[in-house]
Amino acid sequence: MLLLYFKEQRLENHKSRRFFMHVNGTQLEKFIIDSRLVSKDDLSAAKKTLKGGDEGIGDALVKRGTLSKDNLRRMQAYVLGIPFVNLSGQHIDFEILSLIPEPIARRNNIIAFRKDEKKLEVAMLDTDDLSAIDFIKKKTGLSILPRITDDASIKSALTQYQKTLKDEFGDIIQREAGTLKTIDDGEEEDEASASELKKLAEDLPVIRIVDALLKHAILQNASDIHIEPMEKQVLVRYRIDGILHDAMTLPKSAAPSITARIKVLANLKLDEKRLPQDGRFKMKLSDQAVSFRVSVLPTYFGEKTVMRLLPEGASGFTLESLGFHGDALERIHKATKHKTGMILVTGPTGSGKSTTLYTILDILNIPDVNISTIEDPIEYQMPRINQTQVRPQIGFNFSDGLRALVRQDPDIIMVGEIRDTETASLAINAALTGHLVLSTLHTNSAAGAFPRLIDMEAEPFLLVSTIDVVIGQRLVRKLCSTKERHTLSQAEIKSLGEKVDLDRVMKTLKEEGVVDKDATWEKHVFYKPKASTECKDGYSGRIGIHEVIPMTATIKELVMKGATSDDIERQATSEGMLTMIEDGIFLAARGVTAIDEILRVISE
């Protein structure tokens, strides 16, 4: 393969810089084919969508969801001869990091990460951003060496501009907690009036405390905030990568003020302390908008508050970035091309089902289709999609919403969850009458979706006529870059082989080009988590492990016969499906996660 080697010294000249940073379309196309990340059919389909202008084949593949942006950047880096750097989990010296002001770094997605007396290396998403390079060169007086990186690296580095909770927020919270206004002596908290509670909520110290808690949760990539009143104190915990961590404790006297402040933000009743309440509010930190879904629940020691963090918008996700690959990825893409039918995503609460559905919706969201959803709650707001929130308190549930949606001339319908017989029946009928229906089910496996729907009185012959594909999934934590290498002993291989068909996993690894044709489990390198300053438990972020069952002729026969989920799963694996645990071992073999993490999640 012909490579264009990027020459650092030519950065001095704008014209030569543009020439050497431009990716030749023919070279990129050849490399895409050689990489086997994209099939020739998908490549041909993407080429047909090109309409001239600035869009190249790489951009077209990303737009179709066939190739992730990060994989495209890696290919461009290789074709250009520019080093690709991964900064995720790496600590950058603050003196170097701060050479680029944070607003510039965030706006231009550029990070200074290494320097010597004359040169400064910067990680970028777009090496054609010459104005940013020129600005940094003038500011530092150094020769700038651009490197291509990915979104995760930029996000990881940007968080390092922020101080730790203890440094930045801990002092504020502990200091302000001591100055909070409290309810007058002799007055019970339950008897405090709405006006008195509102005064507490508008107190400057409590505003600072709540803002600090929310901002740090965003910076920590927390999915939930728990504020739990206890007998003598208030415990604040963050759920990060699926695991709850203690963040801090506050004086018990701070509880009423903090709860009142959150109720004000979420537009809840301040003087209602006997019944649960739900609400929502938004907050913006730098350029990141986050919606907080609030739940307040009375407990023995006071009201417990839990807030779910939901980043605004679902753009930027691809099926590949969620962990889909190989045959599973192809099966989903094939199902999205159908005009009618059902795509179901299964798994327990917190397994990423909604994110998978939104990602599929993002792929389907083109100008010539009408997409409508009925959800509880609306987790991500998406442009050009008509999203409706169910409201059980006024009698508006999934079944009512679905009836209304089919009268809105939709091409594609997303039902947040199939919970009951009526919703299941309506969803199946919608799929039969010319709609593509997406929904979720609470089952432990993909195969479990069929018996579950039959339990909801769905007719088997209707299921086999409508369901295109069923996805089962869980979320596992990803290893940081400081991970520790290790190989499996014979005893470990034997023990793992009792849970997983290792031969099938190895075959898939070879077919997808992850390992060499002569690779063996005895010689293959796995990784374990290794704690570091920037990565306390060795993990950062999460990714999905999946199993995908297409509705083949043999699966149809089993469903019609009323077969068990075990029978359906055995047939699906005989037809090439990787089970979730096998997909997890596949990820571990790629160095994305650890075997122990897979076993922890699957055994839950």
d(CA 366, CA 414): 15
Q: Which two tokens stand for residue 517?
A: 């044709």
Beta bridge partner(s), residue 385: 371
CA dist 65 and 61 (Å) reads: 6
What are the DSSP E strand ranges found in 455-587? 467-479, 484-486, 526-528, 539-550
Residue 438's CB: how many other CB atoms inside 10 A?
Answer: 27
Note the pLDDT tens digit of each residue in 474-520: 999 999 888 899 999 999 999 999 999 999 999 999 999 889 999 99
Task: Return the CATH number of the domain spanning residue range 326-603.
Answer: 3.40.50.300
Which stretches of the chain score pLDDT less than 50? 1-21, 163-166, 185-187
Contact 589, 515 (CB under 8 A): yes
Pairing type for strands 371-375 and 385-389 reads: parallel
Q: Buried b / exposed e across 190-226, counting CB within 10 Å, b at 16+?
A: eebeeebbeebbebebbbbbbbbbbbbbbbbbbbbbb
- DSSP tag of 45: H
- Cβ-proximal residues to 478 (8 Å cutoff; 6+ apart), any chain: 539, 540, 541, 542, 543, 592, 593
The backbone region for 302, taken as left when phi is positive above 0, alpha when psi lies in -120 to 50, beta otherwise, is: left
Determine contact, residues 37/71, Cβ cutoff 8 Å: yes
Domain 165-311 has CATH 3.30.450.90: yes
Same fold, 8-159 and 326-603: no
d(Cα 209, Cα 261) in Å, to the nearest integer? 10
Spell out the domain ranges in the chain. 8-159, 165-311, 326-603
The pLDDT value recorded for residue 100 is: 85
State which CATH number among 3.30.460.80, 3.30.300.160, 3.30.390.50, 1.10.357.10 fits the domain covering 8-159.
3.30.300.160
Tell me the pLDDT tens digit for each residue of 459-470. Answer: 999 999 999 999
CA distance 356 to 323: 10
Query: What is the Rg, in whole angstroms, of the alpha carbon atoms belonging to the chain?
Result: 26
d(CA 205, CA 202): 9
Query: CA end-to-end span of the chain, whole Å?
Result: 47
Query: How crowded is the C-beta side of 365, counted as CA atoms within 13 Å?
Result: 19
Strand order in the sheet with 110-115: 110-115, 119-124, 143-148
Residues 6 or more apart whose CB falls under 8 angstroms from that of 225 comprise 213, 214, 217, 236, 237, 238, 239, 305, 306, 307, 309
Distances (CA, A) of 581 to 357, 479, 584, 585, 602: 21, 17, 5, 6, 7
Orientation of helix 565-574 relative to helix 553-560, angle to 10°: 170
